Structure 1
Amino acid sequence: MPRFDNQTVLVTGGTGGQGSSHVRAFHAEGANVVIGGIDAERGAALVDELGTRALFTHLDVRDESSWSAAVHAAESAFGALNVLVNNAGVQNPPAPIEQTDPATWSRILDVNLTGTFLGIKVATPALRRAVGGAIVNIASTMALGGTAHYAPYVASKWAVRGLTRTAALELGRDNIRVNTIHPGVIATPFIHEPAAGATTAIADFYSPAPFAIPRLGEPTDVTRLLLFLASSDAAFITGSEYVIDGGLLLGPALQAETA
């Protein structure tokens, strides 16, 4: 039996590289999927691909009223909301702190942090109406250390860690679990294409050669972990953090020289 039969899952940033992978996998596992995003053309194409049990809704995660409309759309179409995946995120153009525009700082935190906060705030009553469920916040390995020239993004993802733990404490008695995934360098346009205003991409700074598993991650690597955390298989897991980076944070995997 598919793990998400008769459940409804809302994925923000649902038309992007990781988001669309998550949406497809939840749908394949029997879920009704609500694709939250701002790209209506990509959203419509994904709905057409999936067919039944799929809905696109315009969702600007910075706007509480947009969140309310998205949650209402999920409940109206499918009767309940059982899982929220806070996946939407944006990256700043690389720059040292002293050269970072405050407007850039605000934009990154508005999407990555405030967007996650608003999602938890607005979705919680719906999850209670469904008698519990799961929230999974997609953070980053940049939330586990410092990264030069990416202060807005790093700060936003560090803050998501604290927000996740607080929400887990507040919502556990309502049978709502809240966990975080920290992806490393995942092969999507997010890391292969420069952020708005930038000329270099994140992938330009990382070679997978020293990783313990010497390759970039694939969206499906993250998706498989997400499905577990959102499912009843993880019923006793909340407030936890999961790193999926091929060993990036472990340091370089040195190869022994051979004669």
Structure 2
Amino acid sequence: MLRIVPNRLLGKVAVVIGSSAGIGFAIAERLAKEGARVIISGRKQEGVNKALKALDPALKVLGTACHLARYNQRIRVLEMAKYAFGGLDILVINAGVSPVLHDVLDTTQRAWNKMFDINVKSYFQLAKETVPYMQERGQGKIVINADINGYHPHINLGAYAVSKGAIIALTKATALQLAKDNITVNAVAPGIISTKFSEGVRNSERADDFLKQIPQNRFGTSEEVAGPVAFLVSDDANYITGETICVAGGVVSRL
């Protein structure tokens, strides 16, 4: 059983983008259980409503639909945090797409554009739009969901891997710029996590090959990603910025 740190995030306000299910939902729930007031979001309001019903009603959580590529919806989430809870201390960007399973040079221009529009461009835009809200508070924590593929590309996830490599670089570049504002920027790089998002990989003919690359010989859980995120957005991680924590069961990720 994973250990919750009671009240570690008490008084903090968090926005978790892409949190109506899977990893994002686990992150939002974990932050709320540690005392944060949380805004959850998903592409469809129906999914957000379902997620809210699944949470303990004692937790301080609100939610709204947000398509990451749409400016007005991104701003709506940030404004909800400010006017419902008084400000914004924490941003977790979890939404992402991988519409195809292809080798990198077999990717169509349309699929390539979609992945970079959502996985990179929209992340950049939202992080930029969030900074003024955090500057008002005099501090902030941003955590971006990268992927182990950014370090160790799987053969049929080539373009997705490139987009996640860009996220790792974006994390480092943004951390350098925002250090003076007392805003930390870090990332987590999950391996194959047992969610709907990874079904195509886990149910493919190559599933056994993927497992053989994982020293722990199993796929991860959403809760096992939520724990490191909760750490990164807490005061325990005040002196950590520009880093990417791999949550991948031991898959080789760097020298």
TM-score (norm. length: structure 1) = 0.89
Match of 2:211 among 208, 213, 217: 208
What letter is aligned with 2:218? R
Match of 1:176 among 180, 183, 187: 183
Q: Report what 2:129 is aligned to.
A: 122
- The question of whether the paired residues in 2 share the 8 Å contact of 1:187 and 1:218 is answered with yes
Q: Report what 1:15 is aligned to.
A: 20
Q: Report what 1:50 is aligned to.
A: 56
Q: What SS does the aligned partner of 2:211 have?
A: coil
User: Are residues 1:69 and 2:76 paired?
Assistant: yes
Q: Report what 1:256 is aligned to.
A: none
Runs of 4+ that moved beyond 4 A? 200-203
Match of 2:146 among 119, 139, 144: 139
How big is the shift at 1:63? 1.9
Q: Report what 1:231 is aligned to.
A: 234
**Following the alignment from structure 2 to structure 1, what is the Cα–Cα distance between the partners of residues 214 and 201?**
23
- The question of whether the paired residues in 1 share the 8 Å contact of 2:44 and 2:66 is answered with no
Q: Report what 2:119 is aligned to.
A: 112
Spell out, residue by residue over 1:29-78, the C-alpha distance to the aligned partner (whole angstroms, 9 max, x if none).
11111012112122112223333521112211112222111101111110
Q: What SS does the aligned partner of 1:170 have?
A: helix
**Following the alignment from structure 2 to structure 1, what is the Cα–Cα distance between the partners of residues 222 and 97?**
16
Identity of aligned residues (%): 28
Spell out, residue by residue over 1:214-255, the C-alpha distance to the aligned partner (whole angstroms, 9 max, x if none).
2111111111111000100001000011111111227xxxxx
What letter is aligned with 1:61? L
RMSD of the alignment, in Å? 2.1
What letter is aligned with 1:122? E
What letter is aligned with 1:55? L
What letter is aligned with 1:225? P
**Following the alignment from structure 1 to structure 2, what is the Cα–Cα distance between the partners of residues 210 and 241?**
20
**Following the alignment from structure 2 to structure 1, what is the Cα–Cα distance between the partners of residues 231 and 225?**
10
- The question of whether the paired residues in 2 share the 8 Å contact of 1:192 and 1:203 is answered with no
What is the number of residues matched between the two proteins? 247
Q: What SS does the aligned partner of 2:169 have?
A: helix
Q: What SS does the aligned partner of 2:249 have?
A: coil
What letter is aligned with 1:81? L
User: Are residues 1:190 and 2:197 paired?
Assistant: yes
Q: Which has the larger radius of gyration?
A: 1
C-alpha change, 1:23 and 1:201, in structure 2 (3 Å) is farther
Q: Report what 1:254 is aligned to.
A: none
TM-score (norm. length: structure 2) = 0.90
Unaligned ranges ≥5, structure 1: 251-259
Match of 1:82 among 66, 89, 97: 89
C-alpha change, 1:202 and 1:60, in structure 2 (3 Å) is farther
Unaligned ranges ≥5, structure 2: 1-5
User: Are residues 1:248 and 2:254 paired?
Assistant: no
